[in-house]
Structure 1
């Protein structure tokens, strides 16, 4: 599919409040056959997501420790996770320490997922992921670990107000760029 056709199709799925604010842009290299060009997403004429550039205004993590030490990441801990820690430690750990251990375990898993998703995004081809988005269900795109699929689904008009509001807890565990687009969509409700 040509870039102009793909762009037109993606923009036809934009939420009405974001039409004109969110743009899909691409640059190409005319004389370099092996270079497919760079695709990026702009919000209010500002380049927000460029897959090959880690110097965006959105926070890109370099290590697992950066994620663990980020005060903006809030990790909700369930009673089942606390019980699992209690079972693993055979009840010898004080109650307040169980929460700390459960949070630490959960954030380690989250950190690995975030770094994996971020690494795959920097290597991904926007056109391939966008074509996949157009052929998969909106639910599958929202539940995916692929950052770009999440973003395309969040700005989609098929995702209603109720679903957006019910995603608040899930969004806390997503990459900052996904959270940015979630907040953008929330601002249009």
Structure 2
């Protein structure tokens, strides 16, 4: 994972890049429980103080539970291949932990907005659709082709929030 200075700095950067309509409504949350074994944590995206999506350390256990039988079937399997196999299930259920969120944030901040919108990582897509660099024409195109309607519910809610805005 890429090194970063502080969550406060990342949060400020994300908040400053929110579109004007969401600037005072959307907040990002990340905490690490340093006194707990392995410093587990939790991340969330909130709208008007209400949590829309949560990425918790508990999800790591669900990921492990999904991958363990695959290792039993094939002990020589490469971890990344097993993750790729489970990704469709995890995408639908939002089975992602705070470290998945943090990794997506770090990737997102270095991507052009079009690449972020086309990313296979749904967390990056969520961050991108709320970004101020997504203008009227891009939103109109996204609304017209309606591909976002095939996204999991937890992702689609962010698209509907942003695409429902009138400028």
Task: Name the TM-score, length of structure 2 as normaliser.
Answer: 0.70
SS at match of 2:33: coil
Whole-angstrom CA distance in 2 between matches of 1:20 and 1:151? 17
The number of aligned residues is: 132
SS at match of 1:164: helix
Larger-gyration structure (1/2): 1
Whole-angstrom CA distance in 2 between matches of 1:120 and 1:183? 18
1:38 corresponds in structure 2 to 42
- Cα 1:9/1:186, change in 2 over 3 Å: same
Q: Is the 8 A contact 2:40 2:57 kept in 1?
A: no
1:155 corresponds in structure 2 to 130
Q: Is the 8 A contact 2:90 2:96 kept in 1?
A: no
Whose relative contact order is higher, 1 or 2, with alpha carbons under 8 Å and at least 6 apart?
1
Per-residue CA deviation, residues 9-40 of structure 1 (Å, 9 max, x unaligned), is 11111001101111001222131361241111
Among 72, 97, 114, the residue aligned to 1:139: 114
RMSD: 2.4
Per-residue CA deviation, residues 39-92 of structure 1 (Å, 9 max, x unaligned), is 1100110011102399xxxxxxxxxxxxxxxxxxxxxxxxxxxxxxxxxxxxxx
Question: Matches of residues 171-182 of structure 1 in structure 2 within 5 Å?
Answer: 171-182=148-159
Q: Does 2:56 align with 1:52?
A: yes
2:27 corresponds in structure 1 to 23
- Cα 1:129/1:121, change in 2 over 3 Å: farther
Whole-angstrom CA distance in 2 between matches of 1:160 and 1:139? 11
1:10 corresponds in structure 2 to 14
Whole-angstrom CA distance in 2 between matches of 1:126 and 1:42? 14
2:160 corresponds in structure 1 to 183
Note the residue ranges of structure 2 that are not aligned, 5 or more in a row: 59-85
SS at match of 2:56: coil
Q: Is the 8 A contact 1:121 1:146 kept in 2?
A: no
Task: Name the TM-score, length of structure 1 as normaliser.
Answer: 0.62
1:108 corresponds in structure 2 to none
Q: Is the 8 A contact 2:41 2:57 kept in 1?
A: no
2:91 corresponds in structure 1 to 117
Segments of 4+ in structure 1 off by > 3 A?
Answer: 118-121
- Cα 1:131/1:40, change in 2 over 3 Å: same
